[in-house]
Each structure stands twice: as structure tokens, then as C-alpha cells.
Amino acid sequence: MKPIFVAHESYQDFVLTQLKKHYSNGILTLVINDWPIITKLWISDLSYITIFLSDTYSIKGPLPRDPASMLRSYLLFLSTNPTIGITKWIDQLHRVPLYAILSGFEPGDVPGVGTFYDFFNRLWDFGPDNIKPKAKRKRKKSKKKKLKKGEKLAPKNPGIVGRFINRFLHRGAKKKDLPADRLFEFFQSQILDVSANLGLLGNRSSISVAGDGTPLVTASFPRSKPSCDCYAQGIAMCDHPRLFSQPDCDSGWDSSREKYYNGYSLYMISACDSKYDLPLYPRLQPASRHDSVSFVTGSIEFAQRFTLGTINRFLLDAAHDAEAIYELLDHQGIEPFIDLNPRTKENFSSEGDIKISAKGIPICPIGKEMKPNGYDKSQNRQKWRCPYGAKAKISCKKPCSNAKYGRTFHTFSKDNLRLFPKTPRSSEKWKLVYKRRTSIERSNKREKVDYHLEAGRHRSTKMWYIRVYCIMMNQHIDAWYSVKKDSLNLSEIIFNQVA
């Protein structure tokens, strides 16, 4: 039957009653480290999940477990014991009454393993547990080139980013339903919206975001089994497809660990203006996919789904330094802040005696970089002046202009979006904005190190998406706690009633 809606206030009353019952006799006690966990769940209203998943339950049948309690329990699991599995977590719910109470269960009456996985299935708005079919032909092993530390694997198909983006710019892209859409819909309406109202995402009318990919190791080797009985018949080698346990994964290069790995490439988009480095949108890609290719699909999907504000800036590293990416962001009305990939160190010629450096900065006739002198929005051009010019004086020994403040030069963004961005890379404003790009790396670090993302022993894309999204929820809840903990004296509210 349909689950019964339990308001968040009722959950808070339940917690007070149960803590008074089990922790006021002196046998069980609360320590200082318990209070942050109690407070985080106390301020997190997750009751809407019951209404959100109501259509996935049948009218008839036994009364199901409260979906909000199931979600709280999984979030609590990721906060306290992320390196163990669901089976061992259920053991913890039996052993530690506090965990059961904070989840919303009475001690001794907790759900089983099957109940948790039934709940996970309702969060997954897709039939199969994986996106690709399990049956596929095994690739022939090829010699893999070991790269240097920090060196990224080059795209398999050069020019594929340009082809993808040109197709999008000419034909457009219809919004396609994705398996993780149900997860993002709940995450955006119940988690991101709260963070936005608290001002944790920055100004809604001008949000800066950053994107980057990070390796997500799922197994040491790809596992598969034959779909035929050729080996039993004495045929050692056959061309039949094999059944892979993780069909959406493949092999990629991890530049930080300096080794190849099997798994996904997690492409994450986060809010740059947030001092808490809060994540906004995840996309699981094959490990072999280059970050620039992952950006194309991830950014378009994010733009089609994000409704809480206007994206004004996109901060990306040098792996995204492709002309087509600048064109895509310009088409979306987003200003790109992308570090240059030093493909060439030669200067480019322009009309007259001014040359353009590989960084897009005009070089005056004596070989000095010119200084930015404002941006003309009406004509979409950047003004540059003589490096020796200051106000009405010029200190150049060989001036190339009769102007009082020296030679001026204009660069137009339409001529080359990559070399001539709206905000010059040599300006202080560009440096001030771009230094926030590292927020995406800190966000990824929290997911992989603090919340042990890779500790999950899952064999399906479904479970990896659920684990990623719930870790992201915990990141936002941690930020809510940091904002509210000083104004909310929860220990007085609860402890006085427990004592």
C-alpha cells in the first residue's frame, strides 16, 4: 500500500521521545561527537521523499517502511560508516540504538537488506541497473602507454568535441530522459533549493560554476563471463559476446595515481561562489572519455535541468581549452574562464606591426605585452594600451604613436573567442575569478576522501549514482549545519529533555 506521510515535526518529536526513553537511565549516554550528527538530521527536512515516491508504491499490500526514514538511514550510513556495506550497516542499526532513532526507526525494529534495495530501486527512474547492455564483445588488449604524472590521456578521436558542439549549435538538442533524472529532481527541489535560499550557491542571478572530471575506481579488472558453451566444446577462442558485470565501465588513465584503472570518470559541476564548495550536478562517464567530451554532455544536460538561477560564468582547466567549447558557452550566454593549453608558444601576426601572443595579449613593436584598458560592451571588444603609457604621459624611448598616453589596440571577441575572451587573462579580474576553479577539486576531494566514495562495492550504475547523489546531499547538509549550528542550541533542546 501507499506509504503514510510523516511530517518532519513528527520525526523530531519521535527523536525526542526515543532519546528520553533510551538515554535518560544512565546506561546509554550521548557524547560530544554525537551532537553534530543529531543536529544535521534534526535540521534536514526529508519528508517530501514520501510524496515524491508515492507513485512507485502499489495501492494494495502491506504498509511499507517510511521512505524518509530509509533515506535518513542511508545518509547516516554514509556519514558514519561509509566503508562498510548495507548488511553490516543493518548490524550497526541493531547494535547502536542512536543510529536507529536518528533514522526514524524504533530500536530493535529496523529494516532488512531487501527493504533497503527495494527503496533504491524506487529512486532509480530506469529499468535496468546499467545503461548499456551487459552483452558485448571483449576488446583486444592493446599496449598502453604510461604517461607522466599530471599528464592527461589525449582524446581517442581528435575533433570529436567540435563535431558534437557543431551538431548541437546547428540542430539543437532536445531534452532526453536520463536514468538519474528522478534523483536530480529530488536533489534540486529539496537540497539545492534550500542551499540557494541560504545564499550558499552565490547570487541566483549570476552563479559561477566549475567543472572537472575525477577517476572513480570500481574494480581492479573488468569482470565478464561467456554467453556461450564454446569452451566446454573444446573451442578455446570464439567471437561470441561476453556478459560484463559492469558494462558502463572501461579502462582509463589516472594522472594523479599514475596508473590505469577500471571504472568511471565522474564529471562534476560545482558552485564556485560557495565557500563550502557545494556540488550541483554529477555525470558518470566511461573512464576512457576525455574531460572535454564529458563536459559537452554534462554541461548541456545541466543547462536543461537546472532551474534555480542563471549561470553566468563557467570555470574550467586547460583540458577544456578547445575553440568549440568557447562557442558553446558563448551560445548559452555564459562567460568562459578557461586556462590556456600551451599548444604553441609562437606569436600570431595581425594587421600592422602588432603581434598576438599565444595567450591572446597584443605585443607592441618593441616586444612588450600591452596592458588591458577596459572592455567596450557596445562593440564587444577589448581595448589595450601602450605598456609604458600612464594617463597623459608616455615613458617609451621609441614611441610608435603620437597619442599622449601611447599606442592603443583593440581585439574583438568574435575574431577568436579563445584568445580574446571578454575578460583578458592578463587582468586582475580574470585571476581573481579563476582562482575559484579549485573549488571543484575540493568538492571532489570531499566525496572521495571524506565520504569514501570509492569504498562502495557496487556492480551497477544505479547504485553508484545513488551513492554519489546521497554523498552530495550530505555535503549540503554539512554546509547547513555550519550556518545554523551557532544559532540553534540543539543540545539544550534535546539534552534537557533527555536528562
Least confident span in 105-114, 148-157, 234-243, 354-363: 148-157
- Percentage above 90 pLDDT, the chain: 55
Q: Where in the sequence is the domain holding 223, given as residue range(s)?
A: 135-340+436-455
Which of residues 399, 422, 445 is at a domain's end?
422
Q: Which one-letter amino acid corresponds to residue 283?
A: R
Mean pLDDT, rounded, for 395-417: 76
> Would residue 400 count as lying in a domain?
yes
Phi, psi of 53 (to 5 degrees): -100, 10
Tell me if 153 sits within 8 A of 147, measured CB to CB. yes
With respect to residue 221, please indicate whether it lies within any of the assigned structural domains. yes
Q: Provide the grid cell at 343.
A: 599548444
Q: Are residues 48 and 76 in the same domain?
A: yes
Find the range with the poorest average confidence among 30-39, 148-157, 236-245, 332-341.
148-157
* Region 357-380 average pLDDT: 80
pLDDT number for residue 372: 84
How far is residue 466's CA from residue 124's CA, in Å, rounded to a whole number? 8
User: How many whole angstroms separate alpha carbon 157 and alpha carbon 148?
Assistant: 21
CB atoms within 10 A of CB 85: 15
Q: What percent of the chain has pLDDT over 70?
A: 90
Return the closest-CA partner of residue 454 out of 244, 248, 261, 187. Answer: 261
In a shared domain, residues 301 and 179: yes
Mean pLDDT of the chain: 87
Residues 222 and 242 in one domain: yes
* Domain match, 207 and 308 both: yes
Q: Is residue 460 part of a domain?
A: no
Lowest mean pLDDT among 277-286, 292-301, 328-337, 352-361: 352-361
Closest alpha carbon to 28 in 105, 97, 92, 90: 97
Question: Is a pLDDT exceeding 70 seen at residue 441?
Answer: yes
Q: Are residues 336 and 214 in the same domain?
A: yes
Tell me: pLDDT of 146 over 70: no
On the question of pLDDT at 141 being above 50, the answer is yes
Lowest-confidence region among 151-165, 182-196, 454-468 = 151-165
pLDDT over 50 at 499, yes or no: no
Q: Dig out the grid coordinates for 38 from the structure.
A: 543529531
Query: Based on the domain organization, do 334 and 358 belong to the same domain?
Result: no
Identify which of 82, 59, 54, 74 has the alpha carbon closest to the alpha carbon of residue 115: 74
The CA R_g of the chain, rounded to the nearest whole Å, is 28
pLDDT at res. 336: 94
Q: Which residue has the higher pLDDT, 150 or 126?
A: 126
What amino acid occupies position 316?
A: L
Q: What is the mean pLDDT of residues 244-252?
A: 91
Phi first, then psi: give them for residue 340, nearest 5 degrees. Answer: -75, 140
Residue 472 forms part of a structural domain: no
297 and 369 together in one domain: no
The CA angle 98-104-110, to the nearest 5 degrees, is 80
Q: Which of 3-17, 137-151, 293-307, 358-372 has the lowest mean pLDDT?
A: 137-151
Mean local confidence (pLDDT), 391-399:
70
Distance CA 22, CA 396 (A): 82
Three cell numbers written together for 412: 574583438
pLDDT (mean) for 93-113:
95
Is the pLDDT at 391 greater than 70? The verdict is no
Is the pLDDT higher at 70 or at 352?
70
User: Is the domain of 333 the same as that of 365?
Assistant: no
Q: Give me the pLDDT at residue 392, please.
A: 60
Residue 408: band (very low, low, confident or very high) from pLDDT cuts 50, 70, 90: confident
On whether residue 3 sits in a domain, the answer given is: no
Amino acid at residue number 75 = L
In a domain, 471, yes or no: no
Residue at 171 is within a domain: yes
Phi, psi at 419, each rounded to 5°? -85, -30
Judgement on whether residues 329 and 396 belong to the same structural domain of the protein: no
**Higher-scoring residue by pLDDT: 396, 145:** 396
Whole-number Å distance between alpha carbons of 355 and 348: 6
Q: How many residues make up the chain in this entry? A: 499
Instruction: Name the residue with higher pLDDT: 294 or 385.
Output: 294
- Whether 237 and 147 map to the same domain: the answer is yes
Across the range 349-372, mean pLDDT stands at 78
Amino acid at 6: V
The model's pTM:
0.88
Number of domains in the chain: 3
User: CB neighbours (10 Å) of residue 147?
Assistant: 16
Both 186 and 328 in a single domain? yes
What is the reported pLDDT for 172? 75
Which one-letter amino acid corresponds to residue 430? Answer: W
Residue 142 pLDDT level (bands cut at 50, 70, 90): low
**C-alpha distances in Å from residue 103, one per residue of 99, 195, 404, 485:** 6, 22, 73, 20
**Number of Cβ within a 10 Å radius of residue 485:** 15
Residue 1 included in any domain:
no
Same domain flag for 86 and 143: no
Q: How far apart, in whole angstroms, are the C-alpha atoms of residue 4 and residue 336?
A: 47
pLDDT digits (tens, 9 = 90+) for 12-68: 999 988 988 888 776 788 888 888 999 999 999 999 999 999 999 999 989 999 999
Secondary structure in 3-state letters for the chain? CCCCCCCHHHHHHHHHHHHHHHHCCCCCCCCCCHHHHHHHHHCCCCCHHHHHCHHHCCCCCCCCCCHHHHHHHHHHHHHHCCCCCHHHHHHHHHHCHHHHHHHCCCCCCCCCHHHHHHHHHHHCCCCCCCCCCCEECCCCCCCCCCCCCCCCCCCCCCCHHHHHHHHHHHHCCCCCCCCCHHHHHHHHHHHHHHHHHCCCCCCCCCEEEEEEEEEEEEECCCCEEECCCCCCCCCCCCCCCEEECCCCCEEEEECCCCEEEEEEEEEEEEECCCCCCCEEEEEEEECCCCHHHHHHHHHHHHHHHCCCCCEEEEEECHHHCCHHHHHHHHHCCCEEEECCCCCCCCCEECCCCCEECCCCCEECCCCCECEEEEEECCCCEEEEECCCEECCEECCCCCCCCCCCCCEEEEECCCCCCCCCCCCCCCHHHHHHHHHHHHHHHHHHHHHHHCCHHHCCCCCHHHHHHHHHHHHHHHHHHHHHHHHCCCCCHHHHHHHHHC
Q: How confident is the model at residue 278 (pLDDT cuts 50, 70, 90)?
A: very high
